[in-house]
Structure formats: C-alpha cells, structure tokens
Amino acid sequence: MARYFDITALTTLISLDAERKGQASFTVTNATTASIRGDAVVIPKSGAKPEWFTIDHASRHYDPSASEQLSVSIDAGMDAPPATYGFQVRVLLGGGVPEEQFDDGPLVKFDVTEIPVPPQQPPTPPQKRGIPWWVFLIAGLIALVVIGGIVAFVLTRPKPSTLTVVTVVINDNGFTATPGEFSLHVAGVSATPSDFAGAGPPGTTVTLNAGNFEVKEDLKANYFRTFSGDCSGVMGSGQAKTCFVTNDDWLIIFPPIILPLPFPIQNL
C-alpha cells in the first residue's frame, strides 16, 4: 500500500478539563512528490463516539513534502461513563479510493473521569425580615392610649374623704363613763372603720368615699346623746368633716311627797 501522508501527534495522551473537553494537535506531511488534497477524519476507538470530535479545516491542499498542523477538538460531554477512550486521525487522499488510499496517525488516548460532586453548602438561613414600620406606629398609639388612661384615672379617680368623730362625755351627775365605753357606727360609702369605740379629742378618723353618710351611737343607760357638727349628710370627694357626739349623764331627783296618814299622830 502506497504511503501518502506522514501523520504525527504532539502527544498520545490528552488530559480533559473539568468539562471533559480537550484538544489534540497533529502534523500532517505530504509524503509524495505531487501536490495532493487530503481529507482528514477521526476514527473513534475504545467506545468513543464520533460526535465527540471536531477537526478544524479537515480538507486541505498539501504541496509536495509540505506539512500542515491539524487540530482535533474533543468534547466527551457529561453523560460519558468514566473510562479510557482513544481515536486516530485518518487522512484520505482527495479524489482517491477511500477504502484504499489513506494513512492513519498514531492512537491517541484520553481519560474520562468521574465528575466530582461539589461539596454541599449549608443551607442559607432565611434572611430575617425587619419589623414593619406600622408595627411601631400601632405600638406607639397603644402606649399613648394606655398612658392617657392611667393619667386620666389618676386625675379623675375619687379622692378619699375623712370624717373625724369626737366623743365627748360629761359626767356632772355622779356617773363616770369614759368615751371608750360608747359604741359608734358610721354608715357611708366604703367607711373604714365603720364600727369603733368612742374616743375623745382628737377623735377617730374614718376614711370614706363621696356619698351619703351618717354617724350613729348605741344607747347607754343614764346618758343623753347629742350630735353636732357634720354628723350626717353628703360627703364630697376629698372633703374633711368633723362630728361631735356629746354624752351627758343625767339623774332624776323626785321632790318629796307628803302622804296623809290614816290615823292621827299623837304627841309622845
């Protein structure tokens, strides 16, 4: 078989990149003394597929003893199973018999490796969303309403009133009772205390809310009682009133009665 082309490879082992792509370079020399045309094709080996290969300017004119640089691009794709593949460059004599008039270059191999699994990145936590402005507005309005309600309650709430009850005892008829022996009662709105023993000056202070009130005292034998000052009526908010309860002893002295005798008195 006549030799038409001398084909050499820059290297017979090609390294593919991460995308499984690479490039092989060949030198094709006209081995005849005539000007000829050469048509280059790729012969896949070891399970390689023809669609993986592309020749740059496959058909060229070669002068006698002249050389041309031939470039073959490889793209195995991401679906190719990992293995060692190969190919040869065949240059056909232009216008000749393809089955007989050609020359093959050396076997060039390349490895298709496993696609590295990228490291899993931890999931990105969702970004915290800021609090909407209207939340602060509503919170401020609520705070104003609450503060306003507290202020209004403090300013308008009923102020406690005070009633001072002074028990006066007059013993000018032989009796000896003291103020503490008299039982007094205050009927009023939330009166505190409402039942207590009498007390002389300065008396007993009773707190109560605005409204009707009345001071009462239990009866005690041999004493008249009189009320003076503010012992009943209407108590205003925050007012202070004083009630005097005077207890005066009494003794009824009957005049002598001359009774007629049924018999005459004889002189002794």
**Which letter, b or e, does each residue of 176-189 get, where b requires 16 or more Cβ atoms within 10 Å of its Cβ?**
ebebeebebebebe
Give pLDDT, residue 264. 62
Residue 235 — very low, low, confident or very high, per pLDDT cuts 50/70/90? very high
Shared domain for 167 and 107, answered yes or no, is no
Q: Could you tell me if residue 137 is inside a domain?
A: no
Shared domain for 233 and 173, answered yes or no, is yes
Question: Which residues fall within 8 angstroms of residue 89, CB to CB, at 6 or more apart?
Answer: 7, 9, 26, 28, 40, 41, 42, 43, 55, 70, 72, 104, 105, 108
Q: Could you tell me if residue 155 is inside a domain?
A: no
Shared domain for 106 and 185, answered yes or no, is no
Shared domain for 10 and 108, answered yes or no, is yes
| pLDDT tens per residue across span 238-268 | 999 999 999 999 976 656 666 565 666 565 4
H helix intervals, the chain: 133-156
Number of C-beta neighbours around residue 248 at 10 A: 16
Shared domain for 15 and 105, answered yes or no, is yes
We report the CATH number of the domain holding residue 174 as 2.60.40
Q: Could you tell me if residue 138 is inside a domain?
A: no
Q: Could you tell me if residue 96 is inside a domain?
A: yes
Q: Could you tell me if residue 77 is inside a domain?
A: yes
Q: Could you tell me if residue 264 is inside a domain?
A: no
We report the CATH number of the domain holding residue 37 as 2.60.40.10
Give pLDDT, residue 261. 59
Shared domain for 107 and 203, answered yes or no, is no
pTM of the full structure? 0.45
| pLDDT tens per residue across span 108-131 | 999 999 887 777 777 777 777 778
| pLDDT tens per residue across span 37-46 | 999 999 999 9
Domain count, the chain: 2
Report the DSSP beta bridge partners of residue 161.
Answer: 208
Shared domain for 177 and 102, answered yes or no, is no
Residue 216's nearest CA partner among 182, 171, 240 is: 182
Domain that holds residue 108: 5-112
